[in-house]
Amino acid sequence: MVGSWLVKRLLREGARVTVFVLDHDPQSELLRSKDIDHCQVVSGDLRDRGDVSRAIFASECDYIFHLGAQTIVSTALFDPVYTFESNIMGTWNLFDVVRTSGKPLKGILVASSDKAYGTAKALPYDESTSLHGEGPYDMSKSCTDLIARSYFLTYGVPTVIARCGNIYGGGDLNWSRIVPGTIRDLIKGKTPVIRSNGKYLRDYVYVEDAVDAYLTMASKVQLTEVNGEAFNFSREEPLSVLNIYRAICESTLGHYKEPIIQDTAHHEIVDQHLSSTKAREVLGWRSSYDLQTGLRETVNWYREFISS
C-alpha cells in the first residue's frame, strides 16, 4: 500500500522508477492506477539474493526505498519463519548486494516501524529507546533496523531508517487492520469487529504523510546528522482503537455504530506512541494531514474501490 503511493509521488516528480514486485495483484493500487505501466518492473523475492541483485543492477538506481516485508502481525504469529526470511534475510540480501556491487548509491531508505521498539515502560518512544521486539513481527523489525545500522557503521552504506506509527490510507487490502476493515464493513452495512478490547493505544499516520517523510529523509541522507540515523514519524496524537473506530464511523456514516468487541488479540503491544521531535528539528518534517482529512481521503478511496 505505501509503495503504491510512493511510486505515484515519484512519478509525479519526474523520477525514473523501478519496482521490485513479488506478486502481481490486480486489485493493488499500483496496478489499478496503472502507475506500474510507467515503471520498470522486476519480479522477484527478497529472500532470493539473485533476484535482489538482478533488480539493483537492472535499475541503475540512485536511491533504494526498502519497503518490502511481511507486514501482518497475525501472519507472523502463524508463520514466523517466512516473516524472518522476508524481513530479516531480505534486508541483509539487499544491503550485502549493495555492499558488494561497487555501484555508487546515494542512499537506502529503510521503512521500519514503531513495532521495532517492542514494549517499553516510558512513552512516547524516542529514537534513544532500545529496540526490544518480542513477537515475530516486532523482532523482525528490530533486526531490520540493526542490520541496516551495521552496514552503515561497518561498510559505510548510506542509509536512513523511518519508524512510523500505524500507516493508513487507500490501497490497504489487509482487511484485518482496523481502518480498512472497519470502512469496508460500514460501507457494506455490516457490523465491524474489533479483535482487541478496544483500549490499545496507537499512532495513526496518513499514507501521504509517510511518503513525504520517506522523500524528505532520502533527500537529506547525505547529511552527517541524517546518514545512519533513525527517525520517528507521528502526529503525536495517540488514539485508542475505540477512538479511531469512532472517527472512522463519523467519516463513513456520519454517526457511531456499535462494534463487536472480541477481545481475542494476542501477542500485540498494548500501548505505544512516538515522539517526532527529532524529525521536526533535524529534517524539518511535519504532518500535513490531520485525522479527519486523512480519513476522508481514505473513505473516498474505499467507496470507489468497493463500487468498481
What domains can you pick out in the chain, each with its CATH number? Answer: 2-169+204-237+273-287 (3.40.50.720)
**DSSP calls for 224-276:** TTTTT-EEEE--S--EEHHHHHHHHHHHHTSS--PPEE-----S--SB--B--
* Contact partners, residue 219, CB within 8 Å, separation at least 6: none
What gap in Å lies between CA 125 and CA 270, rounded to an integer? 14
Angstrom distances, CA of residue 119 to CA of 135, 160, 234, 273: 10, 23, 17, 11
The pLDDT, as a whole number, for residue 268 is 82
Per-residue pLDDT of the chain (308 residues; tens, 9 = 90+): 999 999 999 999 999 999 999 988 889 999 999 999 999 999 999 999 999 999 999 888 999 999 999 998 889 999 999 999 999 999 999 999 999 998 889 999 999 999 999 998 899 999 999 999 999 999 999 999 999 999 999 999 999 999 999 999 999 999 999 999 999 999 999 999 999 999 999 999 999 999 999 999 999 999 999 999 999 999 999 999 999 999 999 999 999 999 999 998 877 888 999 999 999 999 999 999 999 999 999 999 999 999 98
The pLDDT, as a whole number, for residue 195 is 92
Model confidence, pTM: 0.95
> What letter would DSSP give residue 288?
-
Nearest Cα neighbor of 108 from 131, 91, 129 is 91
The pLDDT, as a whole number, for residue 265 is 83
Residue in 117, 125, 137, 289 annotated catalytic: 137
Residue 200 appears among annotated catalytic residues: no
The pLDDT, as a whole number, for residue 73 is 87
Hey, how many other C-beta atoms are within 10 angstroms of the C-beta on 305? 18
Nearest Cα neighbor of 11 from 40, 41, 35, 42 is 35
The pLDDT, as a whole number, for residue 120 is 85
Q: Which helix (H) or strand (E) holds 29?
A: helix 29-32
